Amino acid sequence: MQADLKWLDDPQTFRVNQLPAHSDHQWYLDYAEADQQSSSFTQSLDGQWRFAFAKDPQNRIKEFYAPDYDVSKWDLIKVPSMIELNGYAQNQYTNIWYPWAGKIYRRPAYALSPDDLQAGSFSQGTDNTNGSYVKHFDLNESLRGKKVRVRFEGVERAMYVWLNGHFIGYAEDSFTPSEFDLTPYLKDTDNILAVRVYKHSTASYLEDQDMFRFSGIFRSVKLLGQPKLHLEDLDLKPRVTDDFKTGIFNVDLKLQGQDGQVLIKVFDAQGNLIVDESKAAAERVGVHDIKVKDAHLWDNHHPYLYQLFVELRDQGGQLLEVVPYRFGFRRVEINADHVVLLNGQRLIINGVNRHEWNCRTGRCVTMADMEQDMATFKENNINAVRTCHYSDQIPWYYMCDQDGIYMMAENNLETHATWQKMGQDEPSFNVPGSIPQWREVVVDRARTNYETFKNHTAILFWSLGNESYAGDNLVAMQEFYKDHDDSRLVHYEGVVHTPAYRDRISDFESWMYLPPKKVEEYLQNNPDKPFIECEYMHDMGNSDGGMGSYIELIDKYPQYVGGFIWDFIDQALLVHDEISGQDVMRYGGDFDDRHSDNEFSGDGLMFADRTPKPAMQEVRYYYGLHK
């Protein structure tokens, strides 16, 4: 198969040769590796790559992926990083309007009529900057002879991959892992991995989040080898009995490879072995309905986790792979009075929305950033996070499990400018809407989000995305989650604009920034869904005044769940100012970027350098009232 530039224009082509999404577990050769969290099956490709920039697709470096193409004179770029922050393309911050607004007239394919393909919209887009990346690598000894995939953990926004001159695949969905099997073309040494990243494709319509508009390989790239028997997917479904005393352990495994043996062991936090099962390896292996008496339930105060190990052994009993995973027993539900319960108790969300942000590296954030954010949550009684409006880096989900932070795990989806114009609802070319050609791409985003993160205890709610209006395609996303997961609730806010879909989308009544009095009106009038503020207290500049009026609702109305403050951290970039000689914070519009929404990128409880704004003490106080 050959790569086709036209895929950029086609909403129905969003993954080509990509491996199916699967659980985010890590696999190791043995327990010693698992202990060190250092897998000999993993080889990092982070670091310096060769790089060439092109201002549009017509100027792309053709055939650069050919093995004899000389890239030795190319620039070097750090992977992961954003192309813009390396100075190749202009920084731009825009909230609702697409970045091309006023420069290129575009409408989404099929949005105005079923035969309107909008051919060439992005493949010939004069704004479609792109980067060609090349990495030479030798395979680590430990990966040789194995089936090996490459995993891109985050690439904005459309990516073509070649290995040793062969086309490997194509991916969109910037914020979830994209994996491709490299095995057929892989050599032990002197491999050439070539990636072309386009800033725009039809995915740009789906990624209209209120943020700086960047591109590039901005999360890690890894090679992952697998042993002859490998756990491809882990699906834990821990349950809790009605009396909240007993945990019920369920696990379904998808295996790849040869025959062998599967051992499933679960230890409690004290190290007692409480599940010990052995099965013959098969494509699908399951263990169901094992009772765990006097189970410790997981919540924010006691994020008690059990330790699972899946051991894969060959028929001789030799250990081939070990997969550790920690999970908790907890139960989230809505009772007959429309009150959200966690483990039978009323759940109160003292939450924040959190963009991944670093003022030096943009959306390329480090473990240290995440750890600092988690410490800030703890210090300020923040018990919940909405991953706005995309999937976060994988480690963040593990940290939330461990620290008891409730997650609203949101899909990578926002199409704000396709339905809201100058403050008015005007969905004349809304996507995904009910347009058949836009259905699979959004359901795929739901699927990938679900499959990747389904085992995380911290996730109590799935969220279909942000500010994308509503139509049959949002219903299809909702149905995907409901069909695959009856242990969590589904949230979507945008349905408030389309009451006709209210019964088919969202377990919550959610209306961002609804003033306290309006929220109260809803709560006083026989609420048939619990109310959650998926965004409230817009913390732009000197703000967060009047928070008490929301917190009072918690005591008055059991159907009020609480909410997520907008948002956690300012999006600003640290730049050296020649005039003052200082390193200073810059925001939208400071890079000659037009259209820009200027300082609207700074709505955080934290300044962009991760120091708290003065308002944080108010959050700590109010969130401390219902800890």
Task: Write out the residues near another protein by the rule CB under 8 A.
Answer: 423, 513, 515-516, 536-549, 570, 572, 577, 579-580, 582, 584-587, 590, 599-603, 607-608, 613-615, 617-622
Of 9 and 533, which has the nearer Cβ to another protein? 533
Residue 511 or residue 557: which is nearer to another protein going by CB? Answer: 511
Distance between the two ends of the chain, CA-based, in angstroms?
56
Q: For residue 303, list its beta bridge partners.
A: 298
Query: The sheet that has 340-342: what strands, in order across it?
Result: 332-334, 340-342, 345-346
> Comparing C-alpha atoms, which of 395, 375, 10, 14 is closest to residue 178?
14
Give the shortest CB-577-to-another protein separation in angstroms: 5
Cα(91)–Cα(337) distance, integer angstroms: 49
State the minimum distance, in angstroms, from the CB of residue 116 to another protein. Answer: 33
Catalytic residue among 33, 451, 533, 535: 535
Specify whether the CB–CB gap between 52 and 45 falls below 8 A.
no
- The CA-CA-CA angle for residues 209, 212, 217, to 5°, reads 95
Whole-number Å distance between alpha carbons of 406 and 317: 40
Beta carbon of residue 392, minimum distance to another protein (angstroms, whole number): 24
Supply the minimum distance, in Å, between the C-beta of residue 395 and another protein.
28
Q: How far is the CB of 87 from another protein (least distance, A)?
A: 21
Rounded to whole angstroms, the Cα distance separating 514 from 518 reads: 6
Tell me if residue 467 is catalytic.
Answer: yes
360 CB-side CA count, 13 A: 7
Nearer to another protein, 79 or 359 (CB): 359
Active-site residue, from 467, 493, 509, 520: 467
For residue 547, give both structure tokens. 């928070």
- What distance in Å separates the CA atoms of residue 33 and residue 601, rounded to the nearest whole number? 42
Which one, of 511, 551, 557, 547, lies nearest residue 346 by Cα? 557
Query: d(Cα 419, Cα 498) in Å, to the nearest integer?
Result: 11
**Between 504 and 586, CB nearer to another protein:** 586
Residue 292's identity, in one-letter code, is: V
Which residue, 365, 14, 289, is CA-closest to 172? 14
Between residues 525 and 580, which has the closer beta carbon with respect to another protein?
580
Residue 301: count other Cβ atoms within 10 Å of its Cβ: 9
- Which of 231/537 has CB closer to another protein? 537
The nearest distance, CB 578 to another protein, in angstroms, is 11
Residues catalogued as catalytic: 467, 535
